[in-house]
């Protein structure tokens, strides 16, 4: 009696066409190419471990090694995806069996399961994505730090509630973003020790009776160690949720940057400029120059947040073991979400590298828009002996008078300040003209804020230098991780070639 199922004699019937259409077909369409290198690494590491533990004979290990090397050389295109084999792993195993025979090829699966394999594939795949995200974030941070230092003297209005608040500099703004991204990157960096652990040897959920060496397998794969508890190995994808959550936070930071630049580049603000090469136009309106990079960047965060929400919704109330709802469906939107996070970082890098502030216009606005009113209040505290709340009311009265008269902030006079003080405090302020002028000068306002984290150009450049040092440490960390992975790949490859007699 023939067995219809291609993967199990337990199943007396083949997979229903509808199941292939809606589950195995769509999964396999992208999975084989995406996971091929990771399954190849796992097969190689597992083979070397089985051989060294004498679980396979030298002849068996040599034949399997030869088959695996041929599969690696052929690449995924040599395998015709068969959804009746369910997934990428069974398709690759079928190719190995075709090359070296079932009796030998079937022995590679000793002491493992698709459960620990799937968990390991997800970790290897996520490890590569995480390093790529960190590299792209590093490039963006470097750009923001360098341009922040370069624009530390470009005075502009700072805003709260999208209303003029206090004078800052364009460099102060850019280094503020770099500061936030430093923490965003730290969250991704912090995930590494929990991500880079090997689940191999957990098998289905309860380990194996074969004398496997889990530490050897972990080392050959470039993992920092073994995730000990076998059930946790196959039950958990918390590393994916953690990383997509960190990526979502980073994407939100980038989206806010895009929103600021979108407002700043609008015709009504016109306070920054982008080159034509990063903008689009209209099919009907000849005058249009559209900030397409910013519009796409703003929206990318939505895709990343959606990936996080999808994973959480799928994992919620799933059983604490290997499950398809948590681990297949739960991962499904994480991969594209992280690809969108990578694109967001790249788009933000384009925006940060090409934006040019209109320095003269920004300074004129900072002089005219009353954002130095706090400095006037501070001067009243220092020179007129007023408490700050009273000084706040006096400065507010001066602003009101200027607005009613159609005047700008730098046009305030000693008489106006004295009149406001008389009205609010019952006495003249007694400030001289130089003090009033200094208080309302945005350049002096920026320069006077020398405290830690302030707007003074020297302080902005000091912070930029400190951020650059932090960035260098982060780069060294990721470079070390990459070096460890590369060394494991060299060791693994040499061991497989030795088994094959090459």
332-355 pLDDT per residue, tens? 999 999 999 999 999 999 999 999
Q: What is the pLDDT of residue 13?
A: 76
User: In percent, how much of the chain has pLDDT > 70?
Assistant: 98
Rounded to 5 degrees, what are φ and ψ at 429? -75, -40
Those residues with Cβ within 8 angstroms of residue 8's Cβ, 6 or more apart along the chain or in another chain? none
**pLDDT averaged over the chain?**
95
Report pLDDT digits (tens) over 437-456.
999 999 999 999 999 999 99
Q: Are residues 103 and 246 in the same domain?
A: no
Residue 324 maps to a domain: yes
Q: Are residues 83 and 230 in the same domain?
A: no
CATH assignment at residue 433? 1.10.40.30
**pLDDT exceeds cutoff 70 at 144:** yes
User: Do 362 and 285 form a contact (C-beta atoms < 8 A)?
Assistant: no
pTM of the model: 0.93
CB atoms inside a 10 Å sphere around CB 355: 21
Residue 307 maps to a domain: yes
Report pLDDT digits (tens) over 194-227.
999 999 999 999 999 999 999 999 999 999 999 9
Q: Are residues 373 and 398 in the same domain?
A: yes
Domain range enclosing 390? 365-448
Which of 58, 87, 110 represents a domain boundary (last residue)? Answer: 110
Q: Are residues 21 and 84 in the same domain?
A: yes
Q: What is the pLDDT of residue 1?
A: 35
Which of 328, 357, 386 represents a domain boundary (last residue)? Answer: 357
Which of 427, 448, 469 represents a domain boundary (last residue)? Answer: 448
Give the separation between CA 381 and CA 168, rounded to whole angstroms.
22
Report pLDDT digits (tens) over 378-426.
999 999 999 999 999 999 999 999 999 999 998 999 999 999 999 999 9
Report pLDDT digits (tens) over 23-65.
887 877 788 889 999 999 999 999 999 999 999 999 999 999 9
Residue 455 maps to a domain: no
Report pLDDT digits (tens) over 102-137.
999 999 999 999 999 999 999 999 999 999 999 999
Q: Are residues 104 and 237 in the same domain?
A: no
CATH assignment at residue 59? 1.10.275.10
Give the separation between CA 393 and CA 318, rounded to whole angstroms.
59
How many structural domains is the chain composed of? 3
Q: Are residues 137 and 273 in the same domain?
A: yes
- Of 443, 363, 432, 440, nearest to 402 by C-alpha is 440
Residue 158 maps to a domain: no
Q: What is the pLDDT of residue 2?
A: 40
pLDDT band at 9 (very low <50, low <70, confident <90, very high): low
């Amino acid at each position: 009696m023939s067995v219809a199922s291609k993967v199990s004699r337990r199943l007396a019937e083949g997979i229903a066409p509808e199941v292939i259409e809606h589950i195995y077909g769509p999964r396999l369409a992208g999975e084989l190419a995406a996971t091929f290198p990771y399954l190849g690494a796992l097969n190689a590491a597992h083979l070397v471990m089985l051989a060294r533990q004498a679980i396979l004979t030298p002849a068996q290990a040599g034949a399997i090694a030869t088959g695996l090397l041929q599969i690696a050389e052929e690449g995924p295109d040599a395998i015709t995806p068969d959804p009746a084999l369910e997934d990428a792993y069974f398709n690759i195993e079928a190719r190995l069996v075709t090359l070296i025979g079932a009796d030998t090829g079937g022995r590679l699966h000793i002491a493992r399961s698709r459960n620990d394999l799937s968990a390991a594939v997800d970790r290897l795949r996520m490890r590569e994505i995480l390093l790529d995200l960190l590299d792209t974030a590093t490039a963006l941070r470097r750009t923001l730090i360098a341009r922040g230092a370069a624009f530390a003297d470009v005075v502009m209005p700072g805003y709260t509630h999208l209303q003029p608040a206090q004078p800052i500099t364009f460099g102060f703004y850019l280094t503020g973003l770099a500061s936030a991204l430093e923490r965003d990157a730290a969250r991704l960096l912090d995930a590494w020790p929990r991500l880079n652990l090997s689940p191999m040897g957990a098998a289905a959920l309860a380990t194996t009776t074969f004398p496997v060496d889990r530490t050897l397998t972990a080392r050959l794969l470039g993992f920092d160690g073994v995730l000990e508890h076998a059930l946790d190995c196959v039950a958990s994808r918390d590393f994916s949720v953690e990383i997509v959550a960190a990526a979502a936070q980073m994407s939100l930071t980038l989206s806010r940057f895009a929103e600021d630049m979108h407002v700043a580049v609008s015709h009504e603000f016109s306070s920054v400029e982008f080159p034509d090469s990063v903008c689009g136009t209209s099919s009907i309106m000849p005058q249009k120059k559209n900030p397409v990079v910013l519009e796409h960047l703003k929206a990318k965060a939505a895709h990343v947040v959606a990936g996080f929400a999808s994973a959480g919704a799928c994992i919620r109330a799933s059983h604490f073991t290997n499950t398809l709802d948590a681990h297949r469906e739960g991962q499904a939107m994480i991969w594209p979400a992280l690809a969108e996070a990578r694109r967001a970082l790249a788009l933000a890098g384009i925006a940060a590298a090409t934006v040019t502030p209109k320095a003269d216009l920004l300074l004129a606005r900072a002089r005219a828009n009353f954002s130095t009113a706090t400095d006037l209040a501070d001067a009243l505290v220092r020179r007129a002996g007023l408490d700050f709340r009273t000084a706040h009311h006096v400065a507010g009265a001066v602003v009101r008078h200027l607005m009613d008269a159609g005047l700008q902030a730098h046009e305030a006079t000693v008489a106006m300040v004295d009149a406001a003080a008389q009205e609010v405090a019952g006495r003249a302020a007694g400030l001289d003209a130089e003090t009033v002028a200094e208080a309302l000068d945005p350049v002096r306002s920026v320069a006077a804020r020398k405290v830690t984290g302030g707007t003074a150009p020297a302080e902005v450049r000091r912070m930029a230098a400190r951020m650059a040092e932090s960035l260098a440490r982060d780069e060294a960390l990721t470079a070390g991780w990459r070096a460890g992975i590369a060394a494991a790949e060299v060791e693994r490859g040499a061991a497989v070639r030795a088994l094959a007699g090459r």
